[in-house]
Amino acid sequence: MPKQPSVELTPARPSMAGRKLHNEQARYACCFALQADFYRDAILNILMDFKKNPDTDFKNIDDLNEDEAAGEAAALREGINYHDHLYYVKDAPRISDAKYDKLLKRLEDLEDAHPKLKTDDSPTQRVGAEPVSELEKVEHSAPLLSLQATLEADAVKRLLDRAREAADSRSTDLVLEPKFDGLSVEVIYREGKFERGATRGNGRVGEDISRNLKTVHTLPLSLQGDELPDRLAVRGEVYMPLDGFTRLNKQRVESGRNPFANPRNAAAGLMRQYESRNVAGKPLAIFFYEILAADGDLPDSHEKVLRQLRDWGLRVTPLNKTASSFKEIEKYHRKLVGRRDDLDYEIDGIVIKVDDRELRETLGTRDRNPRWALAWKFEPREESTLVEDIVVQVGRTGILTPVALLQPVDVGGVTVSRATLHNEREARRKDIRIGDRVKIIRAGDVIPEIAERIKRPGRKRGDRFEMPGQCPVCDAAITREGAYHIYSAGLACPAQLRGRIRHFASREAMDIDHLGEDAADQLVTRGLVENLADLYQLKKNDLESLEGYAEKSAGKLHDAIQDAKSARLDRFLYALGIAHVGHRVARQLAGEFGTLDRLMKADRERLQKIPDIGAEIAAATADFFADKDNRRILQRLHRAGLEIGEMPARDSQPLKGKTFVFSGALHDFTRSEAREQVEALGGRATSSISGETDYLVLGDSPGSKRDEAEEQGVDCIDEDAFKRLLER
């Protein structure tokens, strides 16, 4: 059910039912002030009627007096919270989305008209609050202990033996729960109202994430029931449902951003945002499983604790189960392993807890682990997983790449949640479809790829993958060049612009510190940057508005941008992100023409006369500089003070004809910077030793290339000798 209002209301003539409702609400507000006991039952009946079948034929807000507005706001809060509970916790909605949206919109309008009616537990507060400069540290009501984890059945048997030995005549019943792979949190309620939430942190002190937690719809802002403790601290797990994780990653990939590695990282990252508006509306949920502290007596068993949590309206997983023997525990473990792929959230094991709370006290705790509980983990998923979706990622040069979004899987100790399909031809060759089980490898031990589809006889497969006819972000038309699909919307596409900003700021290009993926994404999303020239118009206060940027960090980014106003021609050409123009081609073009003005005047025929510049590169370069929008942006960059240095004349390239290879780590250069120095002086830099190699430059831990060089008679020089050679 969407929780952002989508129905625009206009004042309506009150119906008889509506007038009766408002009269009763006004009486309700007054009688609460008078505390007239004989009205109480009638008021509760009115609220219950309003909960179950709310009338949305509202009276004009301007015609309400203060008592009527207060009564209606109270009824709306009660009703919306009631239907939130039905939808998110009970999974049994009773009213339509449209009616729900009308109720929420009416409450927002009432609170806008009467700000004193706005309460901290109002459903309108889930949309996010003003950003904070940092997350404050808070001390927990009770330690949030971590669980000892095992993969061995013998450790489970030892827990049972300890419990039976300590039990004397008490029960040794156990409660079994799924082990959620999410973010553990403490949530505190004061007089039944949400007061505060915090991350686990070190178990005793966590970070205050109250504003972000309030945006999670499965977390009730008000508890249910008549007998509520004055203060209640409970423990829960914030997680991201798998379908929501797939949707969120689809949006990120299609817009050119890196996806989250797994649902846990996504949930943890969102919960620690400084600006809760960035969290509102994200697919997050919470399960509760423990009472940490409460005023008054606590239930004497864990099973009763779970029942009490449900009675208060706190969401508890239906997968919990009681057991009294290892055989029952083993059966539950095996059952959840089988159900793991069918659940809409990640679990990585089961939790075994002693049920009797008095027996827990007897068993006690270790330093950080309770001796009355244990996590029996599943064997990690390895190599094979499910394809949740196939989306199209937009590159900075307009190339569209199909990407498979995967159920997160461990491959060689790394969690993999996506794999490239390269292009439509490759996707069709492997015939990968949504819902397939596939084998994952990490090509070169780095890039995850789908090696093959695992056949599952008898299972109906999804539709064949087809590349879209339009860009998934900006709807620009797509053309085909060989195996690749490309579109030419250029800087008009937000996804392409994000990539261009990151590329423009990279170390090998304009080298702008602090301008990474997150900053580029926010600059485009917030409309602060619509093309590269806008970067140089940003003010410090623009950057302070970004999530995660305070005055000091915004100042650093602003200074870094303003300091990046000069570059040699080849670096600037590379920074522009022209299709097919990498480092080598940029140096060739810069060396041939010397200045940007001369290059901009060259047509395709002139460009193709340059050695190693084929028709494809010539066309891409000529078309880029012929584009009116691109020329306008280049003029704006010039007016902003950007200075493009000329390339050295060809006759002043002393390393022309010399070939260098680098091996090992250099202290004063990155590998790309060293290659750039060589190529700027006319030399070549290659990656392997051959008969044409003149110098092998040795850094730390050079490896086998040194032996190859000595065998072939290649001169080996260290970094100091390399620097002296450059200086000469």
List, as residue ranges, the binding site: 97-101, 146-147, 177, 200, 237, 353, 377, 471, 474, 493
Q: Quote the tokens at residue 430.
A: 């492997």
321 noted as active-site residue: no
Residue ranges of the annotated binding site for NAD(+) are 97-101, 146-147, 177, 200, 237, 353, 377
What's the burial of 419, exposed, middle or buried (CB within 10 Å: 0-12/13-18/19+)? buried
* Amino acid code (one letter) for 462: G
Question: 498 and 253 in contact (C-beta within 8 Å)?
Answer: no
Q: Which residues contact 698 (CB under 8 A, 6 or more apart)?
A: 663, 664, 706, 716, 717, 718, 719
- Of 348, 122, 369, which is closest to residue 237 (Cα–Cα)? 348
- Kindly report the CA angle at 218 between 145 and 434, in degrees rounded to 5? 95
Question: 356 and 152 in contact (C-beta within 8 Å)?
Answer: no
Coil, helix or strand for 154? Answer: helix
Which residue has tokens 């244990």?
374
Which of 179, 250, 282, 430 is an active site residue? 179
Q: How far apart are CA 404 and CA 450, in angstroms?
A: 9
Q: How far apart are CA 608 and CA 616, in angstroms?
A: 9
Is the torsion defined by CA of 81, 83, 87, 89 positive or negative? positive
Q: How far apart are CA 19 and CA 59, in angstroms?
A: 8
Q: How far apart are CA 654 and CA 267, in angstroms?
A: 56
Query: Phi first, then psi: what are they for 156, rounded to 5°?
Result: -65, -40
- Range 285-314 burial, b when 16+ CB lie within 10 A, else e: bbbbbbbbebeeeeeebbbebbebbeebbb
CB atoms within 10 A of CB 183: 24
Q: How far apart are CA 116 and CA 201, in angstroms?
A: 35
Residue ranges of the annotated binding site for Zn(2+) are 471, 474, 493
Output DSSP code: residue 382: B
| Active-site amino acid positions | 179
